Amino acid sequence: MYRLLATCTALLLVACGRSEGPDGSADTTQDTQMPESASESATTQPTSAVVQIEPTQGNTVSGMLTIVAEDDGVRLTGTLQGLKPDGEFGFHIHEKGDCSAPDASSAGGHFNPLNVAHGHPESDTHHVGDMMNLKSDADGVAQVDARAFGATLNTGEPTDVLGRAVVVHESADDYTSQPAGNSGARIGCGVITLKADGAAG
């Protein structure tokens, strides 16, 4: 009698410790962890865009730049030619994607969604569109590798630079004068557009 009771108790403990599915089969889902989805585990690739810089009236600067998103902003790389030799030039992202005016005034002011003062792009206070000056060589060519800290690309956020303009100025930005660094006339302008699949650069 005692042996029978012990056997029944053991069977009940085993049954209670096991959950069953609707059809009476053992349900093992509690012991199995679902893997992360492919979208969660895959590394997000940076969004790419391009900007074709064209000269404003009376100027000659031109070139294609590639823009990629990074953790702390966006990076612009490429080559510009047609600049004054051995010169230094203000280089900014402007608020409006419109280069139609002969002097590119249609591009508006510096891109400044946070409504702060103009400043050195590596300082605590600066426009999202503030970038380091470009420098040309003896042939009037500038190798561009510039960063806009705090900017985003194709995010829909207020800091998104997609569809805005990149402007080259005739003089160096002093990073101090308000509201634009006293960098003079706009000598080149282009609108940031998404990079087509398979495009070079």
* Within a domain: 86: yes
**Catalytic position from the list 127, 160, 164, 173:** 127
Give the tens place of pLDDT for each residue, 26-77: 444 444 343 343 334 334 444 789 999 999 999 999 999 999 999 899 999 9
**Catalytic position from the list 126, 164, 169, 173:** 169
**Catalytic position from the list 75, 126, 130, 173:** 130
- Residue 81's pLDDT is what? 98
Give the tens place of pLDDT for each residue, 70-85: 989 999 999 999 999 9
Percentage of the residues of the chain whose pLDDT score is greater than 90: 66
- Residue 122's pLDDT is what? 86
**Catalytic position from the list 94, 126, 160, 173:** 94
Nearest to 85 by CA among 57, 51, 60: 60
* Within a domain: 41: no
Q: Known catalytic residue: 120?
A: no
**Catalytic position from the list 75, 126, 164, 186:** 186
* Within a domain: 13: no
Give the tens place of pLDDT for each residue, 100-116: 999 999 999 999 999 99
C-alpha 78: how far from chain center: 16
Q: How many domains does the chain have?
A: 1
- Residue 22's pLDDT is what? 45
* Within a domain: 141: yes
Lowest-confidence segment of 3-7, 62-66, 67-71, 124-128 by average pLDDT: 3-7
* Within a domain: 158: yes
- Residue 196's pLDDT is what? 65
**Catalytic position from the list 118, 126, 160, 173:** 118
Mean pLDDT of all residues belonging to the chain = 82
The Cβ-side half-sphere exposure at 106, using a 13 Å CA radius, reads 13
* Within a domain: 176: yes
**Catalytic position from the list 75, 110, 126, 164:** 110
| CATH code for the domain of 154 | 2.60.40.200
**Catalytic position from the list 92, 126, 160, 164:** 92
Range of the domain at 141: 48-194
Give the tens place of pLDDT for each residue, 142-158: 999 999 999 999 999 99
- Per DSSP, the three-state class of 74 is strand
Which element (helix H / strand E) includes 3? helix 2-16
* Within a domain: 16: no
* Within a domain: 131: yes
Sign (positive/negative) of CA torsion 151, 153, 158, 162?
Answer: positive
Q: Known catalytic residue: 126?
A: no
pLDDT confidence bin for 123, thresholds 50/70/90: confident
